[in-house]
Structure 1
Amino acid sequence: MRRLVSIAACLGVLAATTACGGGSVPTGLATDQAGPAGQPPASSAQPEAVTADPPLAFDTSKGVSLPRTALQANMGGSVTSKFMTLRDRTGYIIAPESLSAVDVLTGGEKWNTKIEGPAADPNAHKGPFVEQSGPRPPLVTDKLAVGAVPLRMPEQGTTPGYIALAVLAVNPETGAKLWQTNTKIADDQYGISGDRSVTHVVAVTDKAVVASFTQSEGNLTVGLDPATGKQLWERKDFDAGSANGDLVVGVASKVTPDSAEVQPIALDAATGQQKWAGAKATSVELLQADPAMVVMKFNEAGTGHAFLKFLDAATGAEKFSVEGTRNLGPDSYGDCLYDEQSVLACTDSGVLTAYDAKAGTKLWSLPDAAANRVPPGGLTVAWHGALYGYTNGKQPIVLDAKTGKDLSTSVGFVPDWVSKYAAAGVDQDGSPKAYPVKK
């Protein structure tokens, strides 16, 4: 059974795997010949493509295999971790040793850019079990594709080795390497390693690139110059979670010397200066939503009660809050998906509720006994006003994000990524696959 996929950042975000590499083109597919990093493919011919925004059906007769490094799936065929960002017809994939791009309509690799330095967690993409650690999908804009991984830098004589957060920025069209910055996290002998860590890029703006390393033993977030990669600031015991204009909001740990409590705080993305701090909690998870609103799953300090909270990004003032029914830990509220336009849809204890992502107000919910309607069996992705998932009978379905009404019951495939060109996810044996838009 597919599990509900959260778009929490976490991050954005978010996202770890299968065999490392990401460089080979699946055999038996018509593809452009892959070129080296920094150069376009030898052939620029591209097949004609059907597009829709949002798409309501996919052509399952034209499936294309994707690199296994795009995702990790469990033995039941559900995606457990994502390493790919789908933008139009290009999938950008982060692996422990490289950042690569693939054309999802042909399966052809467009470029593969190496990350310099030994991977601290080379097996982050391997294994059939649910594993939440690893690198999260890269963040891609018109100017930059940026990924982050942990490195284990070797000792040099009497100078001890250390763990570093590597952030790589490339040209999103050609893969040409623009810069790589390695930030020291800790010496090996202090107990922090890259194993079972999470690395993710949270913001890419004209002012800063912000990336984080998180592990049970410690966190680190850095702000980097987007043109050169030069470090602008760093903050320990802070995990960035969402980009909100010129602010980055995240979770500060070790807020008091002898407490396990955490606290949401906002930093200036370019300087690292703290702008506001929220209430202390036993756990906080930031969700992707409208940039003007900070949305988080929040377990209240003292009671542990779970809430979905909407805060004004500029001030941290609470705009809207709803209490969840599962008060048993950091993921106790439920799973939430943002459609990248205006709706946040959350499932909690079998109830699917959609919220206005700009105002935090409730739009609709299922089940609806009066209309004889039940919620889907699960949601996997949201995109441009549409919610994609499957019915209780395991059939693909698309809902209107603003109204909750059925948009399509002839989808053909349950996607984990969607663009106007294609859907991507797993086939029956858990292998990554993409299907072009049909309508």
Structure 2
Amino acid sequence: MRRTLVIVTCLAAVTAAGCGGTDGKPEPVPSAAGSAAPAAPATPEAKTADPPTAFDAGAAVTLPAGALSSNVAGNVTSTFLTLRDRTGYLVGPTAMNAVDVLTGKEIWTVPVEREPGDPNNQRGPFVNTTGPRPPAVTDRLAAAAVPVVMPEKGTTPAFIALSVVAADPEKGVKAWQADIKVSEDQYADAGNAVTQVVAITDKAVIARYSRQDEEHVTVALDPASGKTLWERKDYDAGSVHGDILVGTDYNVAENSSMTQATAVDLATGQQKWVGAGRSSGLTDIPADPALVVLTRTDYGSGDSSLLFLDSATGAEKLKLDGEKSFGSLPYGDCFYDQQSVLVCQSDGVLTGYDAKTAGKLWSLPDQAANRVAPGLTVVWHGALYGVTQGGQPIVLDAKTGKDLSVDNVGAAPVLVSKYAGITYDKQRNAPVAYPVEK
């Protein structure tokens, strides 16, 4: 089966205080004795650190079950939550929600007004890495994508659609919902589909629908109204680089079993360049806008590699070979710290790269220094989070690879903000948020 390209806050409320009564007369002044009701005690401010180097393991907050999924070992296999400051934005088959991760309380919910296309995706006993990807969130908009079933109408049969729901990220007021037909087969279903809002920009909201080798659809929507700007079939959106969108293209003239990276204009969908040809699988890694970073499987040999392409032209700037194999092993896992560093773990080797230039920064293991590579869970704002070979949480400096915090780290999160780290707690059998300790 092909691997498709995927590309991975406490919002302050502003209130205005009135200066006078509604009839234009001044408001009465309280007496010196203070007849007004006493103000409620202020909630203590949460600890913050950017990046955090330790979490309070004794103050874990249980989050909704739909935030993460894990295997029997407690390892996170899928995330359905985007963390911004202390707000978690979740997507499920029937709604998009926001929750305060430091209290576990729901802030708002926005329903998807259609019948879910894959309602039981994460309910089975086995690991399933398909399903909706976490919402995309900006200061102006939060948006998520799920498959839905559009009902039959007269002699027109029912069909599967990609439903994109958008809302105000602070108040949860629904902005719009767009339903885009993704299958011409009236008997098709959305089982094991991957749906995602890849990016939100001032020009377009980019969303994708992918189901095994059957359907691949990318759509660009107007951010204000949800109106379709353009649609491209046999194409999975991956990452946005300024005014360019790069994705996996399944429409390859040389061989229908091949894939390639194709860049299109974000606003119009017009093709700009083609790269990473003769591939059998591509996975997009978010990184600095200057570079397109892909893990690639070669169509002929099955060997994997890590590619760095110029985002403006598609020209190859660096290629790193992965583990040789007779099959199609992926290169490994790569994480962008959202600032300047890309960290990849492949074949037991952990390496840091400059996210803008692809220059190598450091690598572990380092036999000369008697240092081994930890297991990587996430990288954020210059810090690398993971576990030692003995299973203890650890934090490294993502720019140098040096130990940053080794004692009483508290957790090895898969999602991080300046307020909390989130992972799966096997003892609680639930996703949890650990407040920042320092």
Counterpart Cα distance in 2 of 1:411 and 1:128: 32
**1: distance between equivalents of 2:65 and 2:279?**
38
Match of 2:14 in 1: none
- Kept in 2: contact 1:326–1:349 (CA 8 A): no
Per the alignment, residue 84 of structure 1 pairs with 81
Q: Aligned equivalents of 2:283 and 2:41: distance in 1?
A: 42
Which position in structure 2 is the counterpart of 1:198?
A: 194
- How much has 1:329 moved relative to structure 2? 5.5
Q: Cα offset for 1:9?
A: 6.2
Listed as ranges, the matches of 1:45-56 within 5 Å are 46-56=43-53
Does 2:149 match 1:152?
yes
2:204 is matched by which residue type in structure 1?
A
Once the two structures are superposed, the pairs formed by residues 147-186 of structure 1 within 5 Å of their partners are 147-186=144-183
Cα shift readout 1:208-259 (whole Å, capped 9, x = no counterpart) = 0000000121110000000110000000000001111111100010313753
Q: Which is higher, the Rg of structure 1 or of structure 2?
A: 2
The range that moved more, 70-79 or 161-170, is: 70-79
**Runs of 4+ with >3 A deviation:** 43-47, 326-331
**Contact 1:327–1:333 under 8 Å retained in 2:** no
Does the Cα contact within 8 Å between 1:53 and 1:420 map onto a contact in 2? yes
CA offset digits 1:150-187 (Å, max 9, x no partner): 00112122111000000111000011000110000114
Displacement of 1:288 in angstroms is 0.8
How far does the alpha carbon of each residue in 1:392-435 deviate from its partner, in whole angstroms, 9 at most, with x for none? 10000011101101111121111111000011111123301111
1:333 aligns with 2:331: yes
Decide whether the 8 Å contact of 1:353 with 1:365 is kept in 2.
yes
Distance in 1 (alpha carbons) for counterparts of 2:41 and 2:207? 33
1:83/1:135 contact within 8 Å kept: yes
d(CA) in 1 for partners of 2:222, 2:318: 35
Q: Distance in 2 between matches of 1:44 and 1:282?
A: 60
CA contact (8 A) 1:343 1:354 kept: yes
CA distance in 2, matches of 1:328, 1:337: 26
Distance 1:213 1:244 in 2: 20
Matched ranges for 1:256-267 at <5 A: 256=253, 259-267=256-264
CA distance in 1, matches of 2:50, 2:5: 24
1:18-29 equivalences under 5 Å are: none
Q: In the alignment, is the contact (CA less than 8 A) between 2:303 and 2:329 conserved in 1? A: no
Matched letter for residue 337 of structure 2 = D
Alignment partners' CA distance in 1, 2:239 and 2:42: 37
What's the secondary structure of 1:435's corresponding residue? Answer: strand
Instruction: State the identity as a percent.
Output: 56
* Distance verdict in 2 for CA 1:192–1:253, change over 3 Å: farther
Using the TM superposition, give the Cα deviation of residue 101 of structure 1 relative to its aligned residue in structure 2, in angstroms.
Answer: 0.2
Equivalent residues in 2 for 1:27-426, closer than 5 Å: 46-189=43-186, 192-216=188-212, 217-256=214-253, 259-278=256-275, 279-327=277-325, 331-376=329-374, 378-409=375-406, 410-426=408-424
Q: Distance in 2 between matches of 1:329 and 1:119?
A: 36
Distance 1:74 1:236, change over 3 A: same
TM-score (norm 1): 0.88
Distance in 2, matches of 1:44 and 1:344, equals: 44
Matched residue count: 400
Conserved in 1, the CA contact under 8 Å of 2:418 and 2:436? yes
Tell me if structure 1 keeps the 8 A contact 2:5–2:248. no
**Amino acid of the residue matched to residue 371 of structure 2?**
R
Could you say if the C-alpha distance between residues 70 and 328 of structure 1 is closer, same or farther in structure 2, counting changes exceeding 3 Å?
farther
Match of 2:66, SS state, is helix
Q: 1:240 to 1:294 in 2, by over 3 A?
A: same
Contact 2:5–2:236 under 8 Å retained in 1:
no
Counterpart for residue 436 of structure 2: 437
Contact 1:94 1:147 (C-alpha < 8 Å) held by counterparts: yes
Distance 2:127 2:253 in 1: 32
Letter in 2 for 1:198: V
